[in-house]
Amino acid sequence: MAALDIVRIPVLSDNYVWLVHDPESFETMVVDPSVADPVLAEADRRGWPITAIWNTHWHPDHTGGNADIKAKTGCEIIAPAAERERIPTADRLVKDGDRVRLGSHVADVWDVPAHTAGHIAYHFADDAAIFVGDTLFAMGCGRLFEGTAEQMFANMQRLATLDDATRVYCAHEYTLSNARFAVTVDPENRALADRLVAVEAARAAGEPTVPTSIGAERATNPFLRAPTAAELGRIRALKDAA
Ligand SMILES: [Zn+2]
């Protein structure tokens, strides 16, 4: 099985759309297209036919390109079953325990409610990669718009079971802001302090900081490291007010 080609497409102010290509089957899917044109242009430039869109949740900066990309490519749109009303372009609805495929690469669907009520993630176990939308960020987690700290804590606990090497593809470049906040709630964490310095340098040079990895997050992410749901909720509230 050839490795997936995964391409980052920066759009809007801080979104990342992921273009994922299987070189054997030539199938190509897009995770959470905020907009259509830059995604179609990148796929065109590479000669990759877009065969599917995989949405993690209904927010417009994750689904805004669905209709145009589908109209231009005829691709299938896979979306969370619990958000069917809010993703009317969906062709196939999936939930925890379902499996979706890109060529011979298989992803398990995880329900990760909290940022939105029906949010899902796509875990390619054999590829050691997970597409988490707005659930886990580098040194951060998604805001609790439609769920609870208990739900987000359960999501973090489940993500923490993955191998350190698992690459985490999140949907925003929030890393610098997250790192600056994280050091205020975990000031003794040397790995976190070092990571803040590295992230400041990367961003000053205009470089992206994602994907991240489960190992990096296990060492530095105060939300993934929170010992209880109450502690996660406390620091989430602090971050919201920051
Ligand atoms: Zn969102």
Residue 53 shares a structural domain with residue 116: no
Output the CA 188–ligand 1 centroid distance in Å: 31
In this predicted model, what pLDDT tens digit does every residue of 56-89 receive, in sequence order?
999 999 999 999 999 999 999 999 999 999 999 9
What is the pTM (predicted TM-score) of this model?
0.98
pLDDT of residue 238: 97
In this predicted model, what pLDDT tens digit does every residue of 180-195 receive, in sequence order?
999 999 999 999 999 9
Give a yes or no: residue 100 inside a domain.
no
Q: Which of 22, 32, 111, 134 is catalytic?
A: 134
Q: Which of 59, 105, 119, 123 is catalytic?
A: 59
- The fraction of the chain above a pLDDT of 70, given in percent, is 100
Output the CA 120–ligand 1 centroid distance in Å: 11
pLDDT of residue 222: 98
Mean pLDDT of 8-28: 97
* Domain housing 196: 106-242
Output the CA 65–ligand 1 centroid distance in Å: 15
Among this protein's residues, is 98 annotated catalytic? no
With cut-offs at 50, 70 and 90, classify the pLDDT of residue 1. confident
With cut-offs at 50, 70 and 90, classify the pLDDT of residue 228. very high
Residue 129 shares a structural domain with residue 233: yes
Give a yes or no: residue 11 inside a domain.
yes
Output the CA 126–ligand 1 centroid distance in Å: 27
Give a yes or no: residue 101 inside a domain.
no
Among this protein's residues, is 61 annotated catalytic? yes
In this predicted model, what pLDDT tens digit does every residue of 128-142 receive, in sequence order?
999 999 999 999 999
pLDDT reading at 117 higher than 90: yes
CATH number at residue 37: 3.60.15.10
The answer to whether the beta carbons of residues 152 and 236 sit under 8 Å apart is yes
Residue 40 shares a structural domain with residue 89: yes
Output the CA 44–ligand 1 centroid distance in Å: 27
Contacts of 227 (CB under 8 A, 6+ apart): none
Among this protein's residues, is 62 annotated catalytic? yes
